[in-house]
Amino acid sequence: MRAFDVKICGLSTPETMAAALERGASHVGFVHFAKSPRHLDIAPMAVLVRQVAGRAETVVVTVDPDDALIERFAREVKPDWLQLHGRETPERVRDIKARTGLKVMKALPVATAADLAAVAPYLGVADRILLDSKRPKGSDLPGGNGVSFDWTLLSAAEAGLDPQMGYMLSGGIDADNVADALAIADPSGIDVSSGVESAPGIKDVGRMHRFFDALDRLGEPARKARIS
The percent of residues above 90 in pLDDT, for the chain, comes to: 75
pTM of the predicted model as reported, rounded to 2 decimal places: 0.89
Amino acid at 46: A
Average of pLDDT values for 203-224?
A: 82
Average of pLDDT values for 164-186?
A: 90
User: Which superfamily is assigned to 5-225 in CATH?
Assistant: Aldolase class I (3.20.20.70)
Does 163 score more than 70 pLDDT? no
* Domain coordinates in residue numbering, the chain: 5-225
- Residues 24-71: pLDDT tens digits? 999 999 999 999 999 999 999 999 999 999 999 999 999 999 999 999
- Residues 100-118: pLDDT tens digits? 999 999 999 999 989 999 9
Q: What is the number of other CB atoms lying within 10 angstroms of the CB of residue 207?
A: 19
CA angle 162, 166, 168 (to 5 degrees): 150
Sorting pLDDT into bands at 50, 70 and 90, what band is 166? confident
- Catalytically active residues are 9, 132
Helix (H, G, I), strand (E, B) or coil at 180: helix
Instruction: Name the region of 144 (left: φ>0; alpha: ψ -120 to 50; beta: rest).
Output: left
Helix (H, G, I), strand (E, B) or coil at 218: helix
The mean-pLDDT minimum among 43-52, 149-158, 170-179, 191-200 falls in: 149-158
Average of pLDDT values for 115-125?
A: 92
Calculate the CA 119 to chain-centre distance.
16
User: Highest mean pLDDT range out of 77-91, 112-126, 128-142?
Assistant: 77-91
